[in-house]
Structure 1
């Protein structure tokens, strides 16, 4: 279990946090997907920044949930992670 997953598990025990998390689940899924893919490739934010042209500080804000990336930005991140961006409604 990653540090993020441990942290999330702890935070979800707080009912107020869980309610807000559920309301923002899609955003958290995006954040988790980015972090997991980056760590899977053993890339730092700085290295991903070099591959994508996105400032490291902006990647940090995205991963911390302090900004909502556009589809264009997500596409750049996906390419930098050698992934394909897929958006679907289920």
Structure 2
């Protein structure tokens, strides 16, 4: 596949059929010669959020995405590699990678071990729902 035709293509073997946010779902962004090109991720999200199925899937995935983002940002703020965090927590580096990629959902026990390994406190909260905006 040439760079002209495809900017990005993900694995098309989707095990969660029908989920527009699935990590394995086909995701093709075409150049001007083959389709469309977005100027930014925000524009892409705004366009996709007009689709009710996408907006629903996005809202359902948001808590998982927030957990992943929090783990990665905390680890990066401390300049820790996944391997270094694995050594501090006793969690395999491959498992940390799976958690950060969204392939695995961590238990509260695992989240606590990650927090302890980074010298942090795990905080879970329940907040009122808010409207999703692109």
Establish whether residue 46 from structure 1 lines up as the match of residue 83 from structure 2.
yes
Give the TM-score normalised by the residue count of structure 1: 0.81
Aligned length: 84
Greater than 6 Å deviation, 4+ residue runs? none
Cα distance 1:79–1:22, how it changes in 2: closer, same or farther (>3 A)? Answer: same
Greater fraction of residues in helix: 1
Give the TM-score normalised by the residue count of structure 2: 0.56
Cα distance 1:10–1:53, how it changes in 2: closer, same or farther (>3 A)? Answer: farther
User: Larger Cα Rg: Structure 1 or Structure 2?
Assistant: 2
State whether residues 21 and 28 of structure 1, in contact with CA within 8 Å, keep that contact through their aligned partners in structure 2.
no
Unaligned runs of 5+ in 1: 1-6
Unaligned runs of 5+ in 2: 1-39, 128-134
Q: Flag the structure with more relative contact order, 1 or 2, with Cα contacts below 8 A and sequence separation at least 6.
A: 1
